[in-house]
Chains A and B, each alone.
Chain A
């Protein structure tokens, strides 16, 4: 399949504001640098129609909506617990996802079991959707491992810390999926800061050239540590896709329903051989970059307050309540479940043992290496020398 044929068959979302494709099809390029977001739930919790994306969530039930709500609440609770654990000295560092729950749960729940996810280091909500035990995510932040889970058991790759590297891994994986003739799709997460990385541009190029079934999911949380998005780009990020020959769409990243719909659309077209797509989830990093960061140095409270009014969890709760989809019992039960999760996470982290000293040498190579063997033996002998003196 060629890139040309793909372009011909797919809506050019890059040049239109989602939902107004028909009327905007031949319009001049948008003047606004803040194009309309794809939105299905307003910040006030009102369901709005969207001709293009409604069909992707048409079958959604009250149960499904409550499940999405539950995912977001539990993810936020887990995240808050991890931040507390860092403050208590149990974790060395934590990268909070506060404010990005809808972007992560909406996209994570759009994936199928056989799809493959390539996260950054902040995709705790996506990990949750993939069935990764949240306590597994804490190992690297506590300092007991540098990864710590089998990527293939949940098709959820290891957290990647070097910015943007994983977009190429996702593209290569997707190239493999296509070679295998499988109808799975791959989703690569990255942020607004990563959009400046060469690897991300190369991933766009490779995926377009090979028509790889990969969805690039950019959480534009407005801040790359202290640098606002304006320091990364002069065009809305989703528009970058057009230059590479695939569609890009900007979605309200705090609207779990819209994110779910748009991600389903992108994954389904990838699965059906139509190639990559870029989703820019417009959201906000409510907390610090990590627990080592101090946002008071570079941004003001007004901005945060404005985004608080668009909170992803609150708007879904308003909608659930106004539609009569959830009662007090549901919320009370969820509160209890949240507290139980927090308690479990606390207990597991506090009991997490330090790795064995010899783990330094483990898995440096799959087939072994003479130097590693030699150094391991030397280090073991050195350690053993203390045993004679009643040490360790």
Chain B
């Protein structure tokens, strides 16, 4: 395919196509993933080209989808399952937490669980309840799982390739409101390791850490801050389990200030973990406490309020100012 500008959803589609093409053990499973191509068309055309035996429309039962994927993995398959929306993953949470995450350890390493669970997540598309949530911390908290989220098309393509190749279960959070954002994908490049963070923009005064849908917001915030003479570094975390603390530490040792941004509620979230770790690692480098911007400890609001609820440019910059004021 070479170098191409693709929407993020199409990059994932291409990645799934490559995986189906190169490994006969790869399966796609989920609700409406067949003829419809998924509600976001991420699996568009795959069933037509690879057949119903490999691109499988499932009954509407999330626990069943993940539970049978576990069985297929035991049989030697590499299932890539789609959970239609973030808020629908919870019927499968039991299978993910009590079975999928622990199986390798319980078998003393004798069996592997190469299952990818794709979850379109986050808000910003004006959806109804249960369609806009960011539950990544609930998965990152579970040993045995790996949790990642791409912010751009190139990462979407390559991180999906790497997730499918992983012998561990990977929860793959797809930033649904960025599905239509186009950026360059080079299918012949050599990708960075799956769990390495990436410096998306260099700066000297403060570090913004974000992932998935919030990377774009942080880059915009950094551009706006630059006009005011502030130099913000943006680190795209890419992986929430494991977290590349070395990359965050390197950035903070340079900028001495850190703000973590995510859509998920800040309470006990990814930002809380980063704040604790970075405070421990960089205590003498920090000029200000690590601050967080994110969701509130309240249910995700109705769509008419989500523009205010979601961390935007102004809330990020407001927190940047608070940090710089120390």
Contact = CB atoms under 8 A, between A and B. Distances in A.
A232 to B, nearest CB: 19
B2 interface: no
A95 B310 CA distance: 51
- Which size class do B's interface residues fall under? 35 or more
B84 to A, nearest CB: 16
Contacts of A107: none
B112 interface: yes
Contact of B107 (A151, A365, A367): A151
Contacts of B167: 366-367
Interface in A133-154: 145-152
Given A171-B71, A172-B68, A180-B75, A145 B98 contact: no
Contacts of A372: 143, 242
B94 A369 contact: no
Contact of A158 (B75, B106, B109): B106
Contact of A175 (B71, B105, B166, B242): B71
Contacts of B74: 151, 157, 169, 172-173, 176
B64 A199 contact: yes
B161 interface: no
B70 interface: yes
A173 B58 CA distance: 15
A366 B112 CA distance: 7
A206 B108 contact: no
Interface in B61-114: 61, 63-64, 66-77, 91, 94-95, 98-99, 102-113
A61 interface: no
Given A206-B61, A371-B243, A175 B67 contact: no
Main secondary structure of the interface of A (DSSP, over half): helix
Contact of A203 (B64, B98, B112): B64
A202 B195 contact: no
A364 B70 contact: no
Contact of A202 (B59, B70, B104, B166): B59
A174 interface: yes
Given A146-B102, A362-B109, A171 B68 contact: yes
Contacts of A171: 64, 67-68, 71
A165 interface: yes
Contacts of A199: 63-64, 67, 94-95
B181 interface: no
B144 interface: yes
B53 interface: yes
User: Which 6 A-B pairs have CB atoms at the shortest separation, nearest pair first?
Assistant: A172-B71, A168-B67, A176-B75, A172-B68, A202-B64, A147-B106
Interface of B: 53, 58-59, 61, 63-64, 66-77, 91, 94-95, 98-99, 102-113, 143-144, 146, 166-168, 195, 241-245
Interface of A: 145-152, 157-158, 160, 162, 165, 167-177, 179-180, 198-199, 202-203, 205-206, 209, 362-367, 369-372
